[in-house]
């Protein structure tokens, strides 16, 4: 069924020129091909370096036995990468660990299931931070913002509109650690994804690219926030107190998260020390009961409800999404052949149909309405992107 979601634009999807080494297409922001058809991202690629396991042991030892009841808190989402961090920290590094999830209300059934099963198998205590009022407001705001976006679609505001994840999530985790005297919070990179999963294209159309860990320079941040604030204020449907409040607190945290963090809580990014390798991660988490979803062969992003829609929109507008970028990095790292990457990305990048349909229903938008908006916008957008390149 999910292949049908985009079958009407198959010609467009397959007409795009791609790099001869990776999978990036001509619509990727800032891309240029040389005479051999190799893109600048491949030519300028610097392999991912990690600090190593010895360094990780040393770093963890500083916190061993320091906390009240726990040495560290591992933030988990039910996804593959945070589950692996938890499994390693508990089973391999023997830290006294509390697992914690901030439930923004957008975690999928698979995500909740995996959180329950894997923490039980590991014998780790787990807590949810969940605020029903906040979840209700988030859904309502999301609906308003998405409706407004459909009236005036922009490739630059997809993420701020739809990535409804609570921007204060990290601060809530730090606060919990502080209140429970847990000295260390562990996440992927910088309490987030691993380096492979940073999406450079999402702000790239504005000419702003993060570093390989997903961090922006101050100048980059200012440019983004100025742009988003202007876009936000231009739209009068956004003039509702709960939306303004959520926008303002998100912006504040975006700039000042490190200043707002309690000083007695440290953070550690697991994938800054340990090289991300799919062939090690999947067997390790499967062994503690983690499972994929039935309606996709992808193991990435199955814990988050918003991604099927975000991925669908990018695919329909520019003919690629984060899966193309992710697999391109795996090719450059030598983890996978181009042929296999292409085969996998073509099926895995298609949005999960069940979650996609559920979301559209919740947001009160039909697929026809969405497609019409996106198809009209794509014509204008592609002219702009390709003209810029010439
Ligand atoms: Zn390339």
Helix (H) / strand (E) containing 102: strand 97-103
Gap from CA of 70 to ligand 1 centroid (Å)? 44
In a domain, 39, yes or no: no
Gap from CA of 306 to ligand 1 centroid (Å)? 28
Gap from CA of 31 to ligand 1 centroid (Å)? 9
Find out whether 225 and 233 touch, Cβ atoms under 8 Å.
Answer: no
In a domain, 6, yes or no: no
Gap from CA of 385 to ligand 1 centroid (Å)? 18
Gap from CA of 328 to ligand 1 centroid (Å)? 7
Helix (H) / strand (E) containing 303: none
* Domain harbouring 359, CATH code: 3.40.50.620
Strand partners, 301: none
Distance between CA atoms of 260 and 256, rounded to whole angstroms? Answer: 6
Gap from CA of 28 to ligand 1 centroid (Å)? 10
Distance between CA atoms of 344 and 342, rounded to whole angstroms? Answer: 5
Gap from CA of 87 to ligand 1 centroid (Å)? 34
Distance between CA atoms of 313 and 222, rounded to whole angstroms? Answer: 26
In a domain, 323, yes or no: no
Gap from CA of 15 to ligand 1 centroid (Å)? 17
Please tell me the pTM assigned to this model: 0.87
In a domain, 19, yes or no: no
Find out whether 213 and 198 touch, Cβ atoms under 8 Å.
Answer: yes
Gap from CA of 207 to ligand 1 centroid (Å)? 18
In a domain, 303, yes or no: yes
Gap from CA of 318 to ligand 1 centroid (Å)? 17
Distance between CA atoms of 195 and 49, rounded to whole angstroms? Answer: 10
Gap from CA of 32 to ligand 1 centroid (Å)? 9
Report residue 34 as tokens: 């040389």
Gap from CA of 332 to ligand 1 centroid (Å)? 8
Distance between CA atoms of 201 and 247, rounded to whole angstroms? Answer: 22
Gap from CA of 197 to ligand 1 centroid (Å)? 16
Q: What is the pLDDT along the chain (390 residues), one digit of tens a residue?
A: 445 788 888 898 889 999 999 999 999 999 999 999 999 999 999 888 889 999 999 999 999 999 889 999 999 999 999 999 999 999 999 999 999 999 988 889 999 999 999 999 999 999 999 989 888 888 888 898 899 899 989 888 887 788 756 667 888 899 999 999 999 999 865 544 556 666 777 788 888 887 776 777 888 888 888 877 777 777 777 777 777 777 777 776 666 677 778 889 999 999 999 999 989 999 999 999 999 988 888 888 888 888 899 999 999 999 999 999 999 999 999 999 999 999 999 989 999 889 999 999 999 999 999 999 999 999 999 988 876 554
In a domain, 203, yes or no: yes
CA-based nearest residue to 96, from 69, 123, 57, 119: 69
Helix (H) / strand (E) containing 101: strand 97-103
N- to C-terminal Cα distance for the chain? 38
Chain-centre distance for alpha carbon 53: 25
Quick: pLDDT tens for 102-159. 998 888 999 999 999 999 999 999 999 998 988 888 888 889 889 989 998 988 888 7
Enclosing domain of residue 96: 48-317+338-389
Gap from CA of 319 to ligand 1 centroid (Å)? 16
Using alpha carbons, list the distances in angstroms from residue 109 to 1, 87, 239.
Answer: 20, 21, 33
Q: What angle do CA 274, 119, 173 make, to 5 degrees?
A: 70
* Nearby residues of 293 by Cβ (< 8 Å), 6 or more positions away: 108, 110, 302, 352
Gap from CA of 25 to ligand 1 centroid (Å)? 8
Gap from CA of 39 to ligand 1 centroid (Å)? 4
Gap from CA of 147 to ligand 1 centroid (Å)? 35
Q: Is 54 helix (H, G, I), strand (E, B) or coil?
A: helix
Gap from CA of 196 to ligand 1 centroid (Å)? 15
Gap from CA of 200 to ligand 1 centroid (Å)? 14
Gap from CA of 208 to ligand 1 centroid (Å)? 19
Gap from CA of 161 to ligand 1 centroid (Å)? 29
* Nearby residues of 92 by Cβ (< 8 Å), 6 or more positions away: none
Gap from CA of 47 to ligand 1 centroid (Å)? 14
In a domain, 30, yes or no: no
Report residue 329 as tokens: 């990095």
In a domain, 36, yes or no: no
Q: How many domains does the chain have?
A: 1
């Amino acid at each position: 069924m999910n292949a049908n979601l985009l079958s009407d634009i198959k010609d467009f999807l397959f007409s795009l020129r791609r790099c001869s080494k990776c999978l990036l297409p001509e619509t990727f922001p800032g891309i240029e091909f040389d005479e051999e058809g190799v893109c600048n991202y491949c030519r300028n690629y610097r392999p991912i370096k990690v600090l190593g396991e010895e360094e990780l042991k040393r770093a963890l030892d500083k916190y061993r036995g320091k906390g009240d009841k726990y040495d560290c808190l591992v933030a988990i989402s039910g996804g593959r990468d945070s589950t692996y961090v938890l499994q390693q920290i508990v089973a391999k590094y023997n830290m006294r660990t509390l697992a914690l999830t901030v439930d923004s209300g957008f975690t999928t059934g698979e995500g909740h299931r995996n959180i329950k099963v894997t923490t039980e198998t590991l014998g780790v205590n787990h807590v949810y931070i969940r605020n029903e009022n906040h979840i209700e407001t988030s859904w309502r705001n999301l609906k308003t913002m998405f409706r407004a976006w459909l009236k005036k679609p922009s490739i630059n505001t997809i993420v701020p509109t739809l990535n409804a994840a609570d921007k204060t999530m990290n601060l809530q985790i730090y606060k919990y650690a502080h209140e429970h005297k847990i000295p260390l919070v562990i996440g992927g990179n910088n309490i987030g994804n691993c380096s492979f999963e940073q999406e450079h294209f999402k702000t790239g159309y504005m000419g702003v690219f993060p570093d390989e860990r997903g961090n922006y320079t101050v100048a980059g941040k200012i440019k983004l926030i100025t742009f988003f604030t202007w876009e936000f204020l231009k739209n009068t449907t956004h003039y509702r107190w709960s939306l303004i409040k959520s926008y303002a607190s998100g912006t504040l945290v975006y700039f000042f998260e490190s200043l707002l963090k309690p000083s007695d809580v440290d953070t550690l990014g697991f994938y800054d020390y340990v090289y991300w390798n799919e062939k090690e991660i999947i067997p390790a988490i499967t062994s503690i009961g983690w499972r994929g979803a039935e309606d996709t062969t992808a193991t990435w992003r199955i814990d988050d409800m918003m991604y099927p829609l975000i991925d669908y929109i990018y695919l329909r507008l520019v003919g690629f999404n984060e899966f193309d970028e992710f697999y391109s990095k795996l090719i450059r790292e030598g983890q996978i052949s181009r042929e296999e990457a292409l085969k996998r990305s073509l099926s895995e990048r298609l949005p999960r149909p069940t979650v996609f349909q559920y979301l559209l229903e919740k947001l009160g938008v039909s697929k026809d309405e969405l497609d019409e908006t996106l198809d009209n916008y794509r014509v204008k957008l592609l002219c702009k992107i390709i003209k810029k390149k010439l």
